[in-house]
Homo-oligomer: A and B are copies of this chain.
């Protein structure tokens, strides 16, 4: 069977990509990373999605990798002990505080190790699936293709048989809207309920203690924008409800237009 490793962050992009991989007959090992992030709800949602898929007869090997002892050493608003998470659109400067130093390089390195182990054990190729898309932001330098290329080169230099591991990035030329469209398509093909899938995702960097999403931080604004574009109500719960969240984003977009 075709092998894939996926970082399942609990967000919209990687959750959709998981459906995409299942629909393309991959056996999926999904990793999630616990590095002391404030938005713990991501970890819960990823587990809930895997549980829902299993109940729908799709088995995913899901493993949380816990980086214990790291968060106190990091300088970032996103981990425990850091500053407040800033609000607003990604374009704004203060979003730099939401950078976790070298995060994607750490995640990529662990993911590569697992993919290479699978490739060697099963004596086959193993892809690393990434939900990156054209709408990703240059404010995070480790989301740029230049970083991905350099990181893969380092991986190749550091391992024999590295060419058994390839990247698979089906959304590279798309945006959040295209991803949600693919999600709709895969749900239909796989016999899954769209709302049941997407209420088991989280995009908010500032969820309430009860897990309600904010609608003002940059990542939430983008998610809401995609649901508006696709003409669906977002099944996750927002602090002031969907209509208020939707209105806020529509006004914000108008003011940036």
Contacts and interface: CB of A to CB of B under 8 A. Distances in A.
Interface stretch (A8-16, A138-146, A175-183): A138-146
A144 B67 CA distance: 26
Nearest to A108: B109
B110 A106 contact: yes
A252 interface: no
A104 B142 CA distance: 19
A142 B116 CA distance: 14
Q: How many copies does the complex hold?
A: 2
A153 B153 contact: yes
Contacts of A69: 63-66
A157 interface: yes
Nearest to A96: B160
Interface in A106-125: 106, 108-110, 112-114, 116-118, 120-121
A158 B154 contact: no
Contact of A65 (B67, B96, B114, B120): B67
A127 B62 CA distance: 36
A66 to B, nearest CB: 4
Interface stretch (A20-28, A70-78, A191-199): A70-78
| Interface size range of chain A in the complex | 35 or more
A209 interface: no
Nearest to A29: B73
Contacts of A74: 113-114, 117
A151 interface: yes
Contact of A68 (B66, B96, B102): B66
A105 interface: yes
A2 interface: no
Given A67-B110, A68-B65, A105 B73 contact: no
Contact of A109 (B29, B63, B99, B109): B109
6 contacts: A65-B70, A73-B117, A75-B116, A76-B117, A104-B158, A150-B150
Given A101-B113, A101-B120, 13 more contacts: A63-B73, A65-B67, A67-B110, A74-B113, A74-B114, A101-B112, A102-B158, A106-B109, A106-B113, A142-B157, A144-B157, A149-B157, A151-B154
Interface of A: 29, 63-70, 72-76, 96, 99-106, 108-110, 112-114, 116-118, 120-121, 141-142, 144, 146-147, 149-151, 153-160
